[in-house]
Structure 1
Amino acid sequence: MPTRPRRLLKRGERLLEPDVYLTRVGDAPAVVKDYGRYRRTPLAPLARVLVRREARHLRRLRGWTHAPMLVGVVGGLALAMEFVPGGPLGGEAAANDETFRRLRGAVAQLHASGITHNDLHPANVIVDGERVVLIDFASALRTPRWLRNLPVLRELRRSDLANTYRIERRVTGRTPGARVAATLAAPRWSTALRDTWKRFYRGLRGR
């Protein structure tokens, strides 16, 4: 791990949640997601998979203004990436209608590249002036073009977009119009599947 001074930004407390801290790599500030507490535990292989998956997504998105630049993988259990100034959407960072248009545009571009984020919420959207940056691609999924019209993948894209409107509603108090709400309404099978996953995940966290 880097030996330079570091400032803890978030301590991982839940299952497979990393410690996140700010440090310097070379002459530039960097954010590190560190799963090192799982070293020499049965969960170490899963933590390494999460690091590799997120690093792979960031490599594919290199040069895209709406994702942080990958700095590198450290020791297999830590991921270093560009530090994006600003703050999370809904925090101290200023947000207006243009901010949300940029957010929806970024999500549309992400989907056009074949990637769904799958974990969009205010803390995973950083606003740096006019720049809107999506972070935390550990849950992201990339699919080949020929699979993208499968119902489950269309639902993942719909869910990403729905989350952008939920973020806007949470930050501004506004609700989308009836046409948008109808378009974003989750199908019954998707709701049942999501509820099953949430119960399973809560069970894991409770162990």
Structure 2
Amino acid sequence: MNTLASQIPVCGDDAAIPQLLKRGERFLEPDVYRTCMQGQPAVVKDYTRYQGTLLSPLARLLVKREARMLGRLTGWRHAPALLGTMGGLALGMEFIPGETLSSAQAVSAEVFEQLQHALSRLHGEGITHNDLHGTNVVVSAGVPVLLDFTSAWRTPRWLRRGPLSRQLRRSDLKNLLKMRQRMTGQPPSPRQAALVADPTWVAAIRQGWKRFYRWAKH
């Protein structure tokens, strides 16, 4: 999201003109731009192009869910601060200066250790990110910050031992280990490999989907 994260904006007289970072082109994808809110640099996810359409309720739900999630993480250094919502169809959050993992030339093992601890903290609260990849992690002054909580989910306490919740946590960790191996060359330990291995039921569903997809293509 913060594709220009290495450039720290200054909130001055010219800050009223938002700078587009990313044009939303896919289904229910927001426009993302950099601006100032409450006198500080901010990133806004803007769904207002859906206003008055049949997709407006879904866009409002996405804004509400992400705002609620960021609100739960207030004060946590591994997530941007929520700055507010606008008209129910736009969400403003703290701008995080730095480099995304996908654009960084080199990332230290310490950054991934912090990221793993951060992920463990999220999972301990029953929260899974569900979209963990290089463009959704910014390293700011040596600290990894998770972005884009649109897909994040908080599982009720009584369901956290269920198979779906375990699979969501497993998927987060698997994505983290893939990024670490790609950036540092460090493979998962045998214990970590066992933790992220898909259970039989997940492997069966994936295999069935692949067979269906191949059949549908023909």
Q: Which residue of 2 aligns with 1:49?
A: 61
Percent identical pairs in the alignment equals: 56
Residue 202 of structure 1: aligned partner: none
Structure 2 residue ranges without an equivalent (≥5):
1-14, 211-218
Query: Could you say if the C-alpha distance between residues 181 and 20 of structure 1 is closer, same or farther in structure 2, counting changes exceeding 3 Å?
Result: same
In the other structure, the counterpart of 1:69 is 81
Counterpart of 1:39 (choices 26, 30, 51) is 51
Deviation at 1:193, TM superposition (A): 4.6
**Residue in structure 1 matched with residue 200 of structure 2 by the alignment:** 188
| 1:58 partnered with 2:77 | no
Pairing 1:119–2:131 present: yes
SS at 1:170 equivalent: helix
Are positions 1:101 and 2:113 aligned together? Answer: yes
- Provide closer, same or farther for how the CA distance between residues 96 and 197 of structure 1 changes in structure 2, counting only shifts above 3 A: farther
CA contact (8 A) 1:93 1:127 kept: no
Q: C-alpha offsets along residues 44-79 of structure 1, whole Å, 9 cap, x if unaligned? A: 110100000000000011011111000000111100
Residue-by-residue CA offset, 1:71-123 (whole Å, 9 max, x unaligned):
00011110000001102113137511001101111000011111111110001
Q: Structure 1 residue 20: deviation in Å? A: 0.6
SS at match of 1:32: strand
Separation in 1, partners of 2:21, 2:42: 12
Q: How does 1:1-207 map to 2 (within 5 A)?
A: 4-92=16-104, 94-193=106-205
Calculate the aligned-residue CA RMSD, in Å: 2.0
CA apart distance, 1:196? 8.0
Question: Structure 1 regions of 5+ residues with no counterpart?
Answer: 199-207
Aligned to 1:203: none
Q: Distance in 1 between matches of 2:154 and 2:43?
A: 24
Q: Which amino acid aligns with 1:58?
A: L
Distance in structure 2 (CA, Å) of the matches to 1:97 and 1:72: 34
Contact 1:12 1:18 in 2 (8 A): yes
Report how many residues are paired. Answer: 196
Cα offset, 1:183, TM superposition: 2.2
Indicate the SS of the match to 2:25. coil
- The alpha-carbon deviation at position 194 of structure 1 amounts to 6.0
**Counterpart position of 1:204:** none
- Aligned-partner Cα distance in 2 for 1:122–1:196: 29
State the TM-score, normalizing by the size of structure 1: 0.88
Instruction: Between 76-85 and 135-144, report the one with greater CA deviation.
Output: 135-144
The verdict on how the C-alpha distance between 1:197 and 1:72 changes in structure 2, with shifts beyond 3 A counting, is farther
**Given that residues 129 and 172 in structure 2 are in contact (C-alpha distance below 8 angstroms), is that contact kept between their aligned partners in structure 1?**
yes
The 2-side partners of 1:194 and 1:70 are apart by: 36
User: Aligned partners of 2:95 and 2:207: how far apart in 1?
Assistant: 34
